Amino acid sequence: QSVLTQPPSASATPGQRVTISCSGSHSNYVYWYQQFPGAAPKLLIYANSQRPSGVPDRFSGSRSGTSASLAISGLRSEDEAYYHCAGWDDTLNAPVFGGGTKLTVL
Amino acid sequence: QLQLQESGPGLVKPSETLSLTCAVSGVSISGPTSYCDWIRQTPGKGLEWIGTIYPDGTTSYTPSLQRRVTISVDSSNSRYTLRLTSVTAADTAVYYCARHSLSALSGVDFWGRGTLVTVSS
């Protein structure tokens, strides 16, 4: 059972905007990763809302209290993947993760 | 360009010791602004932090694995090793090494491709 809570699945049609929630983070910062089957997670959002170089601005992150959200606008078929959120456990001094959300582009 | 490559036996028998290596090339991940994490992924439990080795060689492990896990580094060839003793089927997972960056709060910002380990007799 994961420390952070995400919906197991989400879906939307191409061109739409979809949001994925992540709850239970008590750390200052939340991170989001995109993972395709058989591949490693790739950092998508760091420090709640920052995008690494090369990540399209269709991806955005936000934070409110112990919840966070990843929004993807102008959805494309290639966005179909798993999305994981992560926070920080100050006691363990280690990252903690959500269970992942499978995004399906209909 | 940073590359992390995990390697090890794909199949390990129950009660035996699992040993994995992470070869780092391109950029050092052991320095004042980064260090090495090991993380695993199972279908049932998602991503799970296993442990960390800091630039000074100190380590930190998740409590549930602390008695069985050891992370070490051979700095001469930038190879990190994960050892997990007395494995069971519950240790079946994809194991990743990853860079944890302290720059700009980037967090775990780069992952190796991972290696699948199956525990079975």
pLDDT value of residue A3: 87
Chain B nearest-CA residue for A88 = B107
Residues of chain A with pLDDT under 50: none
- Whether A91 has its CB under 8 Å from any CB of chain B: the answer is no
- Whether B113 has its CB under 8 Å from any CB of chain A: the answer is yes
Other CB atoms within 10 A of residue A48 CB: 18
Average pLDDT over residues B76-90: 95
Indicate the pLDDT class of residue B12, thresholds 50, 70 and 90: very high
Looking from the CA of B84 toward its CB, the CA atoms found within 13 Å total: 29
pLDDT at residue B117 greater than cutoff 80? yes
Best of A5, A27, A33 to substitute, by most chain B Cβ atoms within 10 angstroms, is A33
Other CB atoms within 10 A of residue A66 CB: 14
With an 8 Å Cβ cutoff, are B46 and A39 in contact?
Answer: no
What does residue B103 show for φ and ψ, rounded to 5 degrees?
A: -80, 125
Q: Are B112 and B26 in contact (CB under 8 A)?
A: no
Q: Are A68 and A45 in contact (CB under 8 A)?
A: no
Range list of H helices, chain B: none
With an 8 Å Cβ cutoff, are A97 and B110 in contact?
Answer: no
Percent of chain B with pLDDT over 90: 77
Average pLDDT over residues B13-36: 92
Chain B neighbors of A41, CB-CB under 8 A: 47, 96, 111
Pairing of strands B3-7, B11-12: unpaired
